[in-house]
Structure 1
């Protein structure tokens, strides 16, 4: 597989190899991809945790009678028209 990088990215890859931490450009790219994948997993986990927290808050508010009787489509329509 061959890839094309912008001159700036190519310079950064070469700098990483020159630092001695990596033996070649392939190692830099593999490490960058592993980091990217881990970052994606972390972001998805954080989004899920935030959603769970918001649902928990909403459930508590609903039990206290603090809610608006609207359908999801009505709320979406209001947001789009705002």
Structure 2
């Protein structure tokens, strides 16, 4: 591994120190590595969510021309779908 110098706020440094002193982590490096793993997981989830959103957008665009609906009409369609056992 390669050493890296980082700057932390006093609050971050205190929290990191407490984590090590409590025995929750063996070292400052372990805390930082765990934080980076969590960040990586969050980024992966964000990328998956973005891909799903793009897919839903593409599916919506491919579904045909848009149809203007009032809120009442939309609610009626939702209730109709829910009542017929398909939605």
Instruction: Specify if TM > 0.5.
Output: yes
Q: How many residues align?
A: 64
**1:36-65 C-alpha deviation (Å, 9 max, x unpaired):** 1111111011111111012112211x2xx3
| TM-score using structure 2 length | 0.65
Match of 1:8 in 2: 11
Query: Whose helix fraction is larger, Structure 1's or Structure 2's?
Result: 1
Query: Pairwise CA RMSD of aligned residues?
Result: 1.5
Larger radius of gyration: 2
| TM-score using structure 1 length | 0.68
Which consecutive aligned stretches of 4+ in structure 1 deviate over 3 angstroms post-superposition? Answer: none
Separation of aligned partners in 2, 1:7 and 1:25: 14
Separation of aligned partners in 2, 1:42 and 1:66: 30
In the alignment, does 2:35 pair up with 1:23? no
Partner SS state of residue 26, structure 2: coil
Separation of aligned partners in 2, 1:66 and 1:29: 49
Structure 1 gap segments, 5+ residues each: 68-82
Structure 2 gap segments, 5+ residues each: 68-87
**1:3-23 C-alpha deviation (Å, 9 max, x unpaired):** 221101101111211231201
